Structure 1
Amino acid sequence: MKKQWIGAICIFSTYLFTSCGAYFNQPLDTTRARIGENTSVISNVLKYPPKKKTVVGVYKFRDQSGQYKPVETGSTFSTAVTQGGTSILLKSLEESGWFVPIERENIGNLLNERQIIRNTRQEHSKDNRPVKLPPLLFAGVIIEGGVVSYDSNIITGGSGLRYFGAGASNQYRQDRITVYLRAVSTTTGRILKSVYTSKTILSQGITANLYRFVSVRRLLEVETGVTKNEPAQLAVKEAIDKAVELLIVEGIVDGIWKPDGGPEVVNLIKESYNKEKEQATSTKLFNREMKIRRGRNAMSAMAGASKIVGDYSNSAYAFGFDLKFRYLFKKDPHFGFGGSIGRFELENTGIFKQAYLTSAVNFEYNILPYDRLTPYAYVGVGTVLTKNLSDNFFKFQYGGGLEYLLTDRWGILLNAEHQLLGSDQLDQVTRGNKNDQIWHFRLGLNFYF
């Protein structure tokens, strides 16, 4: 019973504390209105002021996806994307410090109010002269575009665990919005620059429960959980902020806008933009960065346990180690080949114990070569030698494991290998018609150069 309670406590702890920030700050009362959240970090580009601010107008920037809010059952006519995109864009343009936004979305209201002012002043003027108002600002650039797509459930998943009436589960869903933005010259109608950005929206739910009879006719039931949904409006705001920033940066690179500070600032902005663009080019859907992290050559040092499957009973694990060299193909890092040397011991308790030397060549396949964590598998051939080099055994081997990169040069390896020998004399006895076999389990470090 004590072990079961310990298991239940471990399950609850694992799942609840992964979302402890939201779990221990649950809303129990109403809150006052507050200043809106900051959606994105101020870019280094926006720290440099422009030589001259550009007057821009936005007539409309709305949802063009036509996507309705997804629901589990039934139907809804609520849109998935906010319809206030114009207001969000105007705020982003103002916060950037590079533009002077003017009212164009409701220009009719503005013109009507100016007409009311003009008529009122003229009616109450003593000399009945025509009343003149200051001229309206005109935009040198019009900003167009919209939220062009809202993709629901681009990735969903979860995990769960249940043990003797105690269980916990975690579920998540990710949506994605895409924003296009373009700057149009009002004098020529030319599209000066067009950019697009995307932002994912995460929804996550964590639950834990306990169902157990603590005594006869005494049932204990406990259930708790938390669900977090990233606000779609904030996601739209962050995507628009990024689009405005990108519009400024690419405009500076192309010479459309000019920052205060001269060529030095322009070069700094170009350098930062090129790095970000390179990273964006290598990053695919689901935020997977397809970057070649691993060098073409690698040296590994591994140690662990070895076990013989032979003619004696009571086989035991004994110590062994390997040194490996690996070369990855330049054109396709999925594939590689290498060699290894090592020493290991084999033991049958109270019967047999012997040390061996080994060497092998392998052909390897990396399943996820661009990720930090990748499974891998390999096949190869080699030899097993007795310590005094008196006997030599041919072997065929295959294996696999996991590698996790701590940095782009250092990685941790976890490996399992099965060796099939061409002889039944490894343990110095022949029984039956099956050749001897060896299992290796290793843990080690990998260094790329």
Structure 2
Amino acid sequence: MIARPSFLKAFGVLVLCLMPLIVFAQDETSKEQSEAKVKDVYKTEFYDLRGTNVFDVALGTSVINGDFVDPMFEIYSHFGYKRHITPHLGIDIGYHKFNLAYIDIYNEGFMSFDINLELAILPHSKVSPFVFAGAGLNASNHFKETANKFQGGGGLEYIVSETFGVKLYTDYNYVFSDELDGLEAGDSDDTYFRIAVGLNFYFGGASQKAKKLKGQATVIDSNLLNDEYYGKK
């Protein structure tokens, strides 16, 4: 038998890990907005490097943490769509296809439909760590068995060229079922991990940058008129 963390413990660890990063993102966003108001300058590096919309694909491996011994690594693939609300914060919707297996005992195909809130730590840089957390639906092939779950994870992205990035990430998935591996035993539900290398394809950055710059020009022109008016006074 493999020792597994309880739901409350796993959820508590996830919240504790995410809270400092969420606070950091809020502080950074507030700082950028304050600087923009003072200097009438908006940061556009995010829109040059990335964009507000993302299609992503990934390939990697998955491993179960359940009721049997000797789990084995199996194939995992993913594709999805992400929308950035702000440079720091995005909503990610994804489809995941993978197998979970034990050596000489069990090998079953699964899929999951996940929605995550993702936090980019350094969105204006070529290299940015990121973390995410959310909920999803886990299902065996042909939807023979389904269960709700929550997941959380993190990774690192590198922008290779404009609007094109490479990422390495991992996630932890807690399934609200103890029958993921076909055996109900122990005092906690089944979990699994996934790790993958993926590609991000960004678009929509140019239009957002144009809107930002247009708004910046309007504010600057307005300030110049005010300066001239009060200068004459």
* TM-score of the two chains, using structure 2 as the length reference: 0.67
**Structure having greater relative contact order (Cα 8 Å, sep ≥ 6):** 2
C-alpha distance in 1 between matches for 2:45 and 2:101: 45
Aligned identity (percent) is 28
Question: What is the CA deviation profile of residues 282-338 of structure 1, one whole-angstrom value per residue up to 9, with x for unaligned ones?
Answer: 78xxxxx85532110000110100000000000010001010110001xx3100102
2:87 corresponds to: 333
List aligned pairs for 1:229-308, cutoff 5 A: 290-292=45-47, 293-308=49-64
C-alpha distance in 2 between matches for 1:369 and 1:294: 8
1:435 corresponds to: 189
1:418 corresponds to: 172
Alignment partner of 1:425: what SS? coil
Q: 2:123 aligns with which of 360, 369, 376?
A: 369
1:390 to partner: Cα distance: 1.2
1:391 corresponds to: 145
C-alpha distance in 1 between matches for 2:117 and 2:195: 19
C-alpha distance in 1 between matches for 2:82 and 2:74: 26
Amino acid at match of 2:175: L
The runs of at least 4 aligned residues of structure 1 exceeding 6 Å deviation read: none
Question: What is the CA deviation profile of residues 57-101 of structure 1, one whole-angstrom value per residue up to 9, with x for unaligned ones?
Answer: xxxxxxxxxxxxxxxxxxxxxxxxxxxxxxxxxxxxxxxxxxxxx
C-alpha distance in 1 between matches for 2:142 and 2:94: 19
2:97/2:112 contact within 8 Å kept: yes
C-alpha distance in 1 between matches for 2:152 and 2:137: 14
Q: 2:80 aligns with which of 303, 324, 334?
A: 324
Question: What is the CA deviation profile of residues 238-282 of structure 1, one whole-angstrom value per residue up to 9, with x for unaligned ones?
Answer: xxxxxxxxxxxxxxxxxxxxxxxxxxxxxxxxxxxxxxxxxxx67
C-alpha distance in 1 between matches for 2:175 and 2:154: 18
Task: Kindly indicate whether residue 112 of structure 2 is the aligned counterpart of residue 358 of structure 1.
Answer: yes
Alignment partner of 1:424: what SS? coil
Q: 1:407 aligns with which of 154, 161, 168?
A: 161
C-alpha distance in 1 between matches for 2:76 and 2:97: 6
2:46/2:87 contact within 8 Å kept: no
2:201 corresponds to: 447
1:38 corresponds to: none
1:404 to partner: Cα distance: 0.5
2:218 corresponds to: none
Question: Does the C-alpha gap of structure 1 residues 291 and 302 become closer, same or farther in structure 2, counting only changes over 3 Å?
Answer: closer
1:282/1:291 contact within 8 Å kept: no
Question: What is the CA deviation profile of residues 138-189 of structure 1, one whole-angstrom value per residue up to 9, with x for unaligned ones?
Answer: xxxxxxxxxxxxxxxxxxxxxxxxxxxxxxxxxxxxxxxxxxxxxxxxxxxx
C-alpha distance in 1 between matches for 2:113 and 2:46: 32
C-alpha distance in 1 between matches for 2:137 and 2:64: 15
C-alpha distance in 2 between matches for 1:431 and 1:402: 36
Q: 1:382 aligns with which of 117, 136, 142?
A: 136
Unpaired segments ≥5 residues, structure 2? 1-40, 204-233
C-alpha distance in 2 between matches for 1:290 and 1:322: 28
2:207 corresponds to: none
1:388 to partner: Cα distance: 1.9
Alignment partner of 2:143: what SS? coil
C-alpha distance in 2 between matches for 1:408 and 1:438: 34
* TM-score of the two chains, using structure 1 as the length reference: 0.35
Question: What is the CA deviation profile of residues 335-388 of structure 1, one whole-angstrom value per residue up to 9, with x for unaligned ones?
Answer: 010200021001100111000111111111100000000000010100111102
Q: 1:310 aligns with which of 66, 77, 83?
A: 66
C-alpha distance in 1 between matches for 2:126 and 2:140: 38
C-alpha distance in 2 between matches for 1:382 and 1:447: 23
Q: Which structure has more helix as a fraction of its residues? A: 2
C-alpha distance in 1 between matches for 2:159 and 2:110: 31
Unpaired segments ≥5 residues, structure 1? 1-280, 284-288
C-alpha distance in 2 between matches for 1:367 and 1:304: 23
Question: Does the C-alpha gap of structure 1 residues 328 and 387 become closer, same or farther in structure 2, counting only changes over 3 Å?
Answer: same
1:44 corresponds to: none
C-alpha distance in 1 between matches for 2:127 and 2:202: 15
How many residues get paired? 162
Amino acid at match of 1:403: E
